[in-house]
Amino acid sequence: MSAKNAAGTTDPMPLFTYALRLGDDALILAQRLSEWASRAPEIEEDIALTNIALDLLGQARALLDYAGVVEGAGRDEDDLAYLRTEREFYNVHLVEQENGDFAHTIARQLFFSTYQLSLYEELISSRDELLAGVAAKGVKEAAYHNDHATQWTIRLGDGTDESHSRMQAAVDRLWPYTAELFEADDVEKSLAAQGVAVDPSTLRSRWGLTIAEVFSSAMLTIPQIPWASHGGRRGVHTEGFGYLLAEMQYLHRTHPGAAW
Amino acid sequence: MSQLWEVFVRGRRGLSHVHAGSLHAADAEMALRNARDVYTRRGEGVSIWVVPSSEIWASTPDEKDPFFDPSADKVYRHPTFYTLPEEVRQM
C-alpha cells in the first residue's frame, strides 16, 4: 500500500502517516490548551480547558500508539510524541497557533472542534477497527468541545463592544489556518477509497455552513482573506512550533524514560 | 459579569439531586456546562440543576433554637419503635 503524500513523494505507509496526522492534531492542541492551566480567566474555565486537553490527549495516545503498531519499528506512543523532531510532526498549523487572548483560544477551538466533530462522525464507519473505535469514543468528546466553543463564541461575539472586537480579531487572525483542515493528498484519498479514512475535502461545505450559523448568532463577520497557510501535513510548521516542542519534549529528552 | 450559582447533581436514577457546590458563570447555560466540568468529570452524575445563589433563602444561625430545638424532644416523631423488615431498603 503506497500513496503520494503532500510533498509529492511516494508514501510507503499511508496508514502510518494518517494516524500520525490525526494523532498530532489532537496532541498539539492538547499541549496548547494545557498551557492555560492556572491561567484561565476563571477557575471554572481553567478546568473546562484542561478537561478538553485531557480528552484530546486520550485521542492522541490511542492514535500514536496505533501509528507505532502500524509502522512495526517498535516505537510506542511516548517515542512518537517525545522523540520526533519538528519536521516529523504532521499536525495542521491551526492547532499549533499560540493561545493569544481567551478569544483566540476559543476561535481556534471552534474551528477545530467543528472540523473534528464531522470527521469523527464519518470515521465511525471506517473499515479500520481502531480508527472507528477512536472516532466512536471521540465523537462525544468533540461534540462537547464544539458546544463549549460555540457557547463562548456567541457570548463574546454578541457581548460587549470590547468582547466583540476581540472575538472578531481572533477570527480574522486564525481564518487563514482553516483551509488546511480540508486539504487531502494521496494519503487521505487512497485510504478513503478503501473505506479506511475520511477525505477531509468532503467535510468543508458542512463546516462552512456550521461556522456561518454560529457567526450569525455571534454577530461576527466571515473574514475575506485570500491567503491560506499550508505545510503542516508534510512537516513544515509555523514559528511558534519549535518552542512548543521544546517545552513538551524537554522532560523526556532530559530524563529519558522518566516515570511518575 | 459572572454571578454565583449553586449546583445540584443527581448521582443516578432514583436518587435525589444533592448539593455539590457552587461556581461562577455568566448565565444559566454556561453554569450548566461549568458544573459538568467541575462536578461530574469522574462519572458522578446523570443530571444537573443550577440555581442562582441569590435565589436561595437560608436559615440563619440566629434562628437555630426556634427552628430546630423543639424537634429534639419529640421521640414519637421518629420511627424507632419497630424493626424494619429485611426487604425494605433505602429508608
Per-residue pLDDT, A211: 98
ipTM of the complex: 0.74
Among the partner residues B27, B29, B34, nearest to A44 by beta-carbon distance: B34
CA distance A5 to A233: 9
Give A-chain residues touching B33 at CB under 8 angstroms. 48, 147-148, 151
Cβ of B37 and A155 within 8 Å?
A: no
Most A CBs within 10 A among B1, B29, B30, B39, hence the mutation to make, goes to: B30
Q: Tell me which residue has cell 485510504.
A: A191
Per-residue pLDDT, A207: 98
- pLDDT tens, N- to C-terminus, chain A (260 residues): 577 777 667 777 999 999 999 999 999 999 999 999 999 988 999 999 999 999 999 999 999 999 999 999 999 999 999 999 999 999 999 999 999 999 999 999 999 999 999 999 999 999 999 999 999 999 999 999 999 999 999 999 999 999 999 999 999 999 999 999 999 999 999 999 999 999 999 999 999 999 999 999 999 999 999 999 999 999 999 999 999 999 999 999 999 878 87
**Cβ atoms B17, B9 nearer than 8 A:** yes
| CB within 8 Å of A227: residues ≥ 6 apart | A176
**Cβ atoms A19, A27 nearer than 8 A:** no
Per-residue pLDDT, B44: 82
Task: Record the pTM.
Answer: 0.89
Per-residue pLDDT, A260: 77
Cβ of A47 and B24 within 8 Å?
A: no
Give B-chain residues touching A42 at CB under 8 angstroms. 2, 24
Per-residue pLDDT, A92: 98
Domain chopping of chain A, boundaries: 11-254
Cβ of A51 and B41 within 8 Å?
A: yes
Cβ of B2 and A147 within 8 Å?
A: no
Nearest to A64 by CA among A143, A145, A134, A139: A134
Per-residue pLDDT, A51: 95
Q: Tell me which residues of chain B have a pLDDT lower than 70.
A: 1, 90-91
Q: Which residue of B has its CA nearest to A51?
A: B37
- Is A44 in CB contact (< 8 Å) with chain B? yes
- Is A48 in CB contact (< 8 Å) with chain B? yes
- Is B50 in CB contact (< 8 Å) with chain A? no
Cβ of B38 and A44 within 8 Å?
A: yes
A244, β-bridge pairs: none
Per-residue pLDDT, B81: 75
CATH of domain A11-254: 1.20.1260.10
Task: Assign domain B3-58 to its CATH architecture.
Answer: Roll (3.10)
Per-residue pLDDT, B73: 77
Give B-chain residues touching A147 at CB under 8 angstroms. 33
- Is B48 in CB contact (< 8 Å) with chain A? no
- Is B3 in CB contact (< 8 Å) with chain A? no
Per-residue pLDDT, B82: 76
